[in-house]
Chain A
Amino acid sequence: MENSAIIQINQLIKRFPMGKGEFTALKGINLNFGTGEFAGLIGPSGSGKTTLLNIIGSLDTPTKGEAVVLGKSISKLSAKESAKLRKESLGFIFQSYNLLQVHTVFENVEFPLLLLDYTTLERKKMVMDALEWVGLTDKVKSKPPQLSGGECQRVAIARAMVKKPSLVLADEPTANLDAANSHNILQTMLNLNRELKTTFIFATHDEKVIGYLKRKIFLKDGLVDQEEWMNQ
């Protein structure tokens, strides 16, 4: 752990109804994450990494146990408080970018700021800064269909980073990208992690991503199987 814990997960269990029974996705996870970590939840499909990421992101709630994110216990948050946590402190990056197709690059990156109390001028500066971090200042007026996959993911990173969140959760962010674009994206995220001290947590089984991680958490059947710390 690099710094004080911003995420504390204790005996986390998550069950989903399945037919007449239940499927247990997480079977008692214990984990802590500190500020500025560049960590990954690694495992095959069904290992529980996306479920864990969703709970950390307050998109889902634990069945048992506790997940405290930035001092907030996820299971005790109301829908409004969850939304507030996401709005102010969390950023998301998805496998399929999930950009708003009819809006420009600028508008996509600006959207999270519309939910916060920034003036037009402040928003413009923050968006342009974020686009500069990812090297897309020349694509401000382009729309997602006019961009390559790598460019789309860089827009998604800018969108996740524009409000300078404490924590960014990235679910298979390079799954749709070729090797060159994947390395480019990961290097960008690594630079932002170093410069802004933002904590990045990935859910992945992509070797390219794993190579960049400072901390690797291997999940297997809903449990932490193994953990590795890299010195970079």
Chain B
Amino acid sequence: MIRFLLKGLLRDKRRSLMPILIVAVGVSLSVFLHAYITGLMNDSIEMNAKLSFGHVKVVTKSFAENISQMPTDLALLETGALKEKLSQEFPDITWVERIQFGGLIDAPDENGETKSQGPALGIGVDLLSAPTGRGGEAERMGMAKSLVRGRLPEMKGEIVLSELFSQKLGVNPGDKITLIGSTMNGAMSYYNFILAGTLSFGVQVMDKGTIIADIEDVRLALDMEDAATEITGFFGSGYFSADLAADVKEKFLSNFPNPENDEYAPVMLSLKDQGSMGQFVDLSNTMGAIITFVFMLAMSLVLWNAGLLGGIRRYGEFGIRLAMGEEKNHVYRTLVYESVMIGIAGSVVGTTIGLFFAWLMQTYGLDLGDSMKGSSMMMPTIIRARITPVDFYIGFLPGIISTVIGAMLAGVGIYKRKTSQLFKELEA
């Protein structure tokens, strides 16, 4: 009987081709959109991770409690040894020291008097030491791609500013600027930098007042020898994984006891623990389910109608099969079997097409730089899809379930008809 049904499906193009096309279109859209959303969300997550949050980070307990204020006086000490220990405990994670700080940038005129001043959000990262320098933090933060004027720091005492901030201050590459801040001991500090270049990240939050300098310069400026506000970790896969982060946190907790009365004890934060990234990561995970559900619903409705039309066209066949002695529920079941075959075929075709377009989007991306100017979110300007193992099977859910639901709903109409009525329609 299965062979009989299969032959009917293969030969009757109106019975198979159209539903397969509908399923294939829906499935390919589901797969592509899932990969697209995954890529978009992950790129945003990764951008936030690379520029600020890391996949995991180690800070002092007190710093974690006051993280929005970036208090350098609550920074980690002896970070060289701590980083070494972390690298041994978690060799698959790249650990980097960073200092996040606040301060005032003063731009002097030709007489050395203040020309302009502005509040700055500073990041001290390793820009100069080999081999982690250019190949490490600068590349991770996409600094070369974001360069607008000048160059990246190549020697001690050089700094880069966001392009908007430099315009506001009226400074150009080669100019001298002064960082006015406070040391980690609470004393006032002044440190002169040469502006090496300007950057534009394409996001307002970064372009407003960001300054980036080599961590050793920042240590000198803020009197933070062998100290850092955080040791940031990046997973070897290059992508954030909430499960891996949880495992790492658990292992960290067992290796680095956290006494309640030690406010400088190191604690680990995952990306999900910081800002609103937890919601963002959860949203990214539920997006796949939402897409699948929406497509399943829409395709079920379309396939229900297609099934009804197909069923009406096949009344003659159903009538004759009933006359031959086939039971109604058997006819109904064969409709469902057929829909499973159509669902599988459509899902295979749709998944292939969807993955192909997702691959194109993953490889070449879509540059939305112009339309994202002024955005307050840290979003990448080039949108790329990301193909994950889920994409290879996620299309089968809406593909098969919606086809079966469509066939079942359409079949109910046939099932409820009296045999003699179907028989009359067969003769009509």
Interface size on B, residues (CB 8 A): 24
- B273 at interface, CB cutoff 8 A: no
- A214 at interface, CB cutoff 8 A: no
- B416 at interface, CB cutoff 8 A: no
Interface of chain B, main secondary structure? helix
* Residue ID in chain A nearest B4 by CB atoms: A114
Contact assessment for A92 and B4 in the assembled complex, using a CB-CB cutoff below 8 Å: no
Contact assessment for B4 and A115 in the assembled complex, using a CB-CB cutoff below 8 Å: no
Residues from 139 to 183 in B contacting A, C-beta threshold 8 Å? none
- A57 at interface, CB cutoff 8 A: yes
A-B contact count (CB 8 A): 70
How would residues 315 to 334 of chain B score, 1 for a CB under 8 Å from any chain A CB and 0 otherwise?
01101111111111000000
Q: Mark the stretch among A3-11, A35-43, A98-106, A218-226 that contacts chain B.
A: A98-106
How would residues 199 to 228 of chain A score, 1 for a CB under 8 Å from any chain B CB and 0 otherwise?
000000000000000000000000000000
Residues from 125 to 165 in A contacting B, C-beta threshold 8 Å? none
Smallest Cβ distance from A29 to chain B, in angstroms? 17
Smallest Cβ distance from A60 to chain B, in angstroms? 4
- B63 at interface, CB cutoff 8 A: no
Contact assessment for B325 and A115 in the assembled complex, using a CB-CB cutoff below 8 Å: yes
Q: Which residues of A sit under 8 angstroms from B420, Cβ to Cβ?
A: 54, 59-60
Smallest Cβ distance from B17 to chain A, in angstroms? 13
Q: Mark the stretch among A65-73, A79-87, A177-185, A187-195 that contacts chain B.
A: A79-87
- A95 at interface, CB cutoff 8 A: yes
The answer to whether residues A79 and B328 also contact, given A94-B427, A98-B319 and a CB cut-off of 8 A, is yes
- B8 at interface, CB cutoff 8 A: yes
Q: Which residues of B sit under 8 angstroms from A12, Cβ to Cβ?
A: none
Smallest Cβ distance from A123 to chain B, in angstroms? 11
Interface residues of A toward B: which range? Answer: 20 to 34
Q: Which residues of B sit under 8 angstroms from A171, Cβ to Cβ?
A: 427
* Residue ID in chain B nearest A87 by CB atoms: B325
Contact assessment for A59 and B1 in the assembled complex, using a CB-CB cutoff below 8 Å: no
Contact assessment for B8 and A60 in the assembled complex, using a CB-CB cutoff below 8 Å: no
Alpha-carbon distance between A79 and B416 when the two chains are bound, in angstroms: 12
Contact assessment for B327 and A90 in the assembled complex, using a CB-CB cutoff below 8 Å: no
Q: Which residues of A sit under 8 angstroms from B1, Cβ to Cβ?
A: 114
Point out which of A84, A98, A101 has the most chain B C-beta atoms below 10 A from its C-beta: A98
Q: Which residues of B sit under 8 angstroms from A84, Cβ to Cβ?
A: 325
- B426 at interface, CB cutoff 8 A: yes
Contact assessment for B8 and A102 in the assembled complex, using a CB-CB cutoff below 8 Å: yes
Choose among A88, A95, A114 the residue that contacts B427 (Cβ–Cβ < 8 A).
A95
Choose among B317, B323, B325, B327 the residue that contacts A100 (Cβ–Cβ < 8 A).
B317
Alpha-carbon distance between A87 and B326 when the two chains are bound, in angstroms: 7
- B11 at interface, CB cutoff 8 A: yes
Other CB < 8 Å A-B pairs besides A59-B419, A92-B323, 7 of them? A59-B323, A83-B322, A85-B325, A86-B322, A94-B320, A111-B321, A112-B324
What are the 3 tightest A-B residue pairs by CB atom distance, in nearest-first order?
Answer: A87-B325, A86-B325, A60-B420
